[in-house]
Structure 1
Amino acid sequence: MNRGIEMYLIDIRLKGDQVTEDQLTAHRQWFSRHFEAGDLLIVGPSKSRAQSGLILARQMAHKDLDQIITEDAFYPAGADYLVNEFEAKLVADQIKGDA
């Protein structure tokens, strides 16, 4: 069997009473910068839980992912980052692209 694709699933849960427009703008700039750099592969708000979002990140050293997370505007405000490292065994062609 082929080796899977290792990646991280990050569930970010914000503290609703601490969210400011400036933080939200900085958060969007943060994930856009890391998306453009190829660190974050899929980013979006949760439709099931208010004040939260999901990120699919490429495989990297855990310390590098920790560094990326600490750069987020919501990190100092005490947002929860639930990080799950996993190995995707089945990936749809639409997601794999030409790779």
Structure 2
Amino acid sequence: MYIVSLTYVAPLERIDDALPAHRAYLDTHFEAGKFIAAGPKMPRDGGVIIASHMPRERLDALLAADPFAQQGVASYEVTEFKATRLAPGLNLPRPETP
């Protein structure tokens, strides 16, 4: 799994302009089982995405397609981790094979 930390590198007005496209992008990847959770940081200086296990190259390609990345309004820091404990009832997709 991955924790993706986004940091806004543009004024919030530009973030807000890109937000509808970013939310549509998130919806697509939630529906595909690629993203597990997402939301803004508090204070609102970026966001967080928790992504399911996949090859790192695939995640990088997904992030490059984010409207925030395409419009140059956010930077990304990715941390991979191995989930050894999950909350009861958390329905996660099965890991992909590389």
TM-score range, shorter chain: 0.7 to 0.9
Could you list the runs of 4 or more consecutive aligned residues of structure 1 that deviate by over 3 angstroms after TM superposition?
none
User: TM-score scaled by structure 1?
Assistant: 0.79
Query: Equivalent residue for 2:65?
Result: 71
Query: Equivalent residue for 2:47?
Result: 53
Among candidates 84, 92, 95, match of residue 87 of structure 2: 92
Letter in 2 for 1:50: R
1:20 CA displacement: 4.6
User: TM-score scaled by structure 2?
Assistant: 0.80
Q: Percent identity?
A: 32
Query: Equivalent residue for 1:35?
Result: 30
Which segments of 5 or more consecutive residues in structure 2 lack a partner in the other structure? Answer: none
Letter in 2 for 1:29: A
1:51 CA displacement: 2.9
Letter in 2 for 1:11: S
2:8 is the counterpart of 1:14 = yes
Shifted more, 86-95 versus 18-27: the winner is 18-27
RMSD: 2.0
Letter in 2 for 1:8: Y
Q: Tell me, in whole angstroms, the C-alpha distance in 1 between the residues paired with 2:46 and 2:15.
A: 14
2:78 is the counterpart of 1:83 = yes
Larger strand share, 1 or 2: 1
Q: Secondary structure at the match of 2:66?
A: coil
